[in-house]
Chain A
Amino acid sequence: MSIKVIVVDYGLGNMLSVCRALEYCGAETSLAVTSKDVASADRLVLPGVGAFAAGIERLANQDLIDALQKFAKSGRPLLGICLGMQLFMSIGEEFGEHNGLDIISGKVKSLPPVNDAGDAVKIPHIGWGAVINAQNDDLWENSVLKGVKPGEFVYFVHSFVVDTNDKHLCIAQCVHDGIRIPAVIKSGNVYGCQFHPEKSGPVGMRIIKNFLAL
């Protein structure tokens, strides 16, 4: 039997690519547009490409905020991709300050224009970057990263990064122009990937398969 996954459709995201990648990994996908759809999911993906404020506004317009917060508390697997991950945070600082879903305590901040050495940081961060271990092997292997080797490459496209209040929630990072970027965050069964697993080749497929096995 295939694993059922519901992908939240709020008009911001590469829905087709995300659904196809999930299907390739053995999932049966459907789209959630209402809070009832979200509540009914066994497993949920919040994708997203775009700006934080627009994302929250659309989720609010579709009355999905409360349903997503409840889903996150239920212990069922939830994966946020790129903007989807950023929307999990309490506050987003993109074009002013906006409240997020507050599923994970923390902020979404712009990538700094210069690193500690005073060198310019390219923004947006676009391209393949290596994931490195931010905590310990145990946490890595007991997460969606199981079987992925530190140093393997995934595909990033973003200008903003998450900053979780509890630093232990960040389990993988990527170094971009000297800046350490949270690449994967985990809080119980809630996961966020700053990169796009659906565009990250075999490594991305491994991560999606692990998510389906949670």
Chain B
Amino acid sequence: MSSFRLIARLDVKGTNVVKGVQLEGLRKLGEPNLFAKRYYANGIDEILYMDVVASLYERSNLLSIVKEATKDVFIPITAGGGIRSVDDAAAILRAGADKVAVNTAALKRPEILSEISNAFGSQCVVLSVEAKRNPNGGWTAYYDNGREKSGEDVLDWIQQSGTLGIGEILLTSVDQEGTAQGFDMELIQAVTAAASVPVIASGGMGNMAHLVDLVGKCRPNAVAMAHVLHYDKLTIPDIRERLINKHIPVRSVPSCR
């Protein structure tokens, strides 16, 4: 089994890292690359940048942020938000990203996933899914950072996307995001069962028990964390050590105590 990956998620608005609750009420926290550098130094496995307003305003600050990150951050970088074409993907990959995450554009035109995949390989295509629980069960895929409802059922969308050459799925629970109340376990379990590619679980982690429970029950391949890291609730070496104690395979990091 490949090692479980720890990803730091940096939601970016303009030139700041922001954090909201259920993707709303965004608070400015500071310069993205200060966060990225700190997490890199503490042994995170990957960095994920999401421009949370790019789709809305149809522009993105990610290029300069990613370019800057390549000076100090020597681990895989994923960037998403506002990727609408193969050219957008090419630009962000040239700027130093290793993978691109696509949500809004893929819901509007699913072929964009295979176009990027054909041009740069499936390993660099991450389908970002923002899932919101329906009152009567199941989940619907949202876009524009959880603002807009697509009408697409999440599990149907996951199945459909399997033929479009994606490398992995970033699954964000809109309901749990930023609440620190734990993951939407039912959602993550359903998606890992339906997906043929690795799944990154995101949204709701507030403590170590949430993560251990998630890995034990839902078996995602990675977790994307924001709240617990940004607000210093947990440190990366501590998370790693506690996963190792639970016999969950993770990368060993030389700088890790």
Instruction: Write the residues of chain A forming the contact surface with B, with a CB cutoff of 8 angstroms.
Output: 14, 16-17, 20-21, 23-24, 49-50, 122, 124, 126-130, 149, 151-153, 155, 157, 176, 198-205
Contact = CB atoms under 8 A, between A and B. Distances in A.
Contact of B96 (A14, A155, A200): A14
Contact of B167 (A17, A20, A126, A153): A126
Given A127-B2, A128-B251, A153-B251, A16 B96 contact: yes
A122 B123 CA distance: 12
Contact of A153 (B120, B122, B252): B252
Interface stretch (B15-23, B70-78, B127-135): B70-78
Contacts of B40: 201
A24 B123 contact: no
Interface string B91-104: 00111101000000
B45 interface: yes
A130 B122 CA distance: 23
Given A126-B167, A204-B74, A151 B252 contact: yes
Given A17-B96, A127-B2, A202-B253, 16 more contacts: A14-B98, A16-B67, A16-B96, A20-B96, A49-B120, A126-B123, A126-B198, A127-B3, A128-B2, A129-B2, A152-B254, A153-B252, A155-B76, A199-B75, A203-B254, A205-B74
Which residue, of A23, A126, A129, A199, has the highest number of chain B Cβ atoms within 10 A?
A126
Contacts of A21: 74
B123 A16 contact: no
Nearest to A124: B123
Nearest to A206: B254
A208 B94 CA distance: 21
A136 B2 CA distance: 26
Nearest to A154: B251
B255 interface: yes
Which residue, of A157, A201, A205, has the highest number of chain B Cβ atoms within 10 A?
A201
B248 to A, nearest CB: 14
B74 A24 contact: yes
A24 B72 CA distance: 7
Contacts of A129: 2
11 contacts: A14-B93, A16-B96, A24-B74, A128-B3, A128-B5, A128-B251, A151-B252, A198-B74, A201-B75, A202-B253, A204-B74
A127 B75 contact: no
Chain B binding surface, main DSSP class: loop
A149 B71 CA distance: 25
B94 A16 contact: yes
A155 B76 CA distance: 8
Contacts of A202: 253-255
Nearest to A208: B74
Chain A binding surface, main DSSP class: mixed
A16 B63 CA distance: 13
B71 to A, nearest CB: 5
Contacts of A49: 120-121
Contacts of A204: 74
A152 B255 CA distance: 11
B96 A157 contact: no
B71 A153 contact: no
Given A127-B3, A128-B3, A153-B3, A17 B123 contact: no
A152 B2 contact: no
B43 interface: yes
B121 A199 contact: no
B68 to A, nearest CB: 10
Interface string B26-50: 0000000000000010010100000
B121 A50 contact: yes
B55 to A, nearest CB: 25
B44 to A, nearest CB: 9
A45 B229 CA distance: 36
A152 B96 contact: no
A31 B79 CA distance: 26
Nearest to B72: A24
A21 B3 CA distance: 24
B61 to A, nearest CB: 17
B159 to A, nearest CB: 20
